[in-house]
Each structure stands twice: as C-alpha cells, then as structure tokens.
C-alpha cells in the first residue's frame, strides 16, 4: 500500500511542518525555497543567465536584498525591490525575486502576480530575440530548435513557472500547479524540482501513476528524496 505523503510547509518562521494529510514520511518540501534559509546561490546564478532577468539594482542594493532575505526580513527585501521596479518596471528578475519574498511572507497571491508578470516580460523579450535570429538553412534551424532548452536564456523562465507552481500548491490549487510545472519542464526538461513537485500535485489529485512517473524521473536525475521513496515502495527507477 502506498504511503500517505505530507508536504512540509513552513509557516510563520518556517520552522513548523504543517501536514496536509497524516503521513509516515516527508517526500520533499515544496521546492528548495521552502527548505533553505538563505537566498539560494543557484537562484542568483539562474537569474544571471538571461540579461532581461538580471535584477536592475545597484550592487549595494542587491547586497541589501540578500541580507534582508537571509535574515528573514522579507518585507524589507520587498520594499527594496519595489523601489527598483518603480524605476525599471520591465525587468523580470526583480519580479521573480520579489515573488520569492512574498512567498516567504505567505502572500501567495502577490507572489503569483509577480511570477506571472515576470513570465510575461521574459517571454516577450525572448521571443522578440528569437525572431531576430536567422538560420542558414532548414537543417540548421532544426538543430538549433533541438538545442532549445540548452539556451540558458530559458532557465529563468522555467524557474518562474516552477515557483508559480509552488505558490499554487500552497493554495491547494493542484490542477493549476500541474499546468505550471508542465510549462517549467517545457522550457527546461532537467528541472528536478518541477518533476518532484508535479509528482506531489498529481498525488494530491489521486493520479498515482503520474506521480510515480514524475518521482521516477526526478530520481533518475539524482533527487535523493524521490530515490528513497521509490526504493521504499519497491519501485525501480
């Protein structure tokens, strides 16, 4: 019999585990953002992959954002990023990071608004850039399209969709979250957290085969929590 899972949702000071159902084990917190105290370095690296997403704040301001985030003063980080957005309203990176701060404040609706805005801006910029790119012949175009997801410019878009899915998960909107994770994986098929959390959403929707398929993919990509769970269930991955 498959175990009933629970999700570790950190409330208030992110120190309490809030079970959605009784469970003997935790598969995976809802995304690394709900596990890590500090602003993850890899998040900063992803944001730097695409120039349109680089937060347009001075180095000193960015340090202030990191310091505020890492110390748990998420409202201060929101205020700093809000000032930057007022000056540079078309910079998607600021919306992503502010959305992350809103999520830590349990303001998931505001987080969703920021993630959606970032997705809209980044999609517009990237597709405009793609239209300007020319190909020597059909074969080259096909090859470049096959390498689509290796274009680092798309990684922040995948991140934004994954974070959007996490926010919808915390609002118990599992079907919407699945769609968000689908979009995250379209833009970067190696997004491990998107597989893990889409599996979580499918489990909540009582689609056990899809959940196990997603966790199996995450396990094959090195996610230890998924590996441990599948081993416990006796499922080969």
Q: What confidence tens digit (pLDDT) does each residue in 164-215 have?
A: 998 898 888 999 999 999 999 988 888 888 998 999 899 889 898 999 999 9
CA distance 187 to 49: 14
pTM, to two decimals: 0.67
- In angstroms, the Cα distances linking 178 to 127, 196, 197, 208 are 24, 11, 8, 14
Q: What confidence tens digit (pLDDT) does each residue in 9-45 have?
A: 332 222 222 222 222 233 333 333 333 345 555 555 4
CA distance 38 to 215: 26
- In angstroms, the Cα distances linking 70 to 8, 31, 36, 108, 129 are 20, 17, 9, 19, 35
Q: Are 141 and 179 in contact (CB under 8 A)?
A: no
| CATH no. for 18-233 | 1.25.40.10
Torsion of CA 33, 2, 230, 204, to 10 degrees: -30
Domain boundaries, given as residue ranges, for the chain: 18-233
Q: Please, what is the average pLDDT of the chain?
A: 71
Q: Are 101 and 78 in contact (CB under 8 A)?
A: yes
Tokens 């629970």, located at residue: 6
Tokens 């003063």, located at residue: 73
């Amino acid at each position: 019999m498959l175990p009933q899972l629970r999700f570790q949702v950190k409330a208030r000071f992110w120190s309490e585990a809030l079970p959605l159902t009784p469970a003997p084990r935790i598969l995976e917190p809802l995304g690394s953002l709900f596990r890590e105290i500090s602003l993850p370095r890899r998040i900063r690296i992803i944001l730097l992959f695409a120039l349109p997403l680089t937060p347009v704040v001075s180095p000193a301001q960015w340090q202030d954002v990191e310091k505020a985030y890492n110390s748990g003063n998420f409202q201060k980080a929101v205020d700093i990023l809000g000032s930057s957005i007022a000056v540079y309203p078309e910079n998607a990176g600021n919306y992503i990071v502010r959305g992350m701060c809103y999520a830590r404040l349990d303001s998931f609706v505001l987080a969703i608004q920021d993630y959606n805005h970032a997705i809209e801006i980044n999609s517009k910029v990237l597709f405009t850039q793609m239209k300007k790119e020319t190909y020597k012949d059909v074969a080259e175009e096909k090859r470049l399209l096959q390498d689509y997801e290796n274009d680092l410019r798309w990684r922040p878009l995948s991140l934004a969709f994954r974070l959007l899915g996490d926010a919808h998960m915390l609002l118990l909107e599992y079907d919407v979250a699945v769609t968000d994770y689908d979009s995250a994986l379209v833009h970067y098929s190696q997004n491990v957290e998107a597989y893990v959390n889409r599996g979580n959403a499918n489990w909540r929707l009582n689609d056990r085969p899809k959940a196990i398929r997603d966790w199996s993919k995450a396990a094959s990509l090195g996610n230890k929590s998924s590996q441990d769970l599948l081993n416990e269930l006796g499922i080969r991955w």
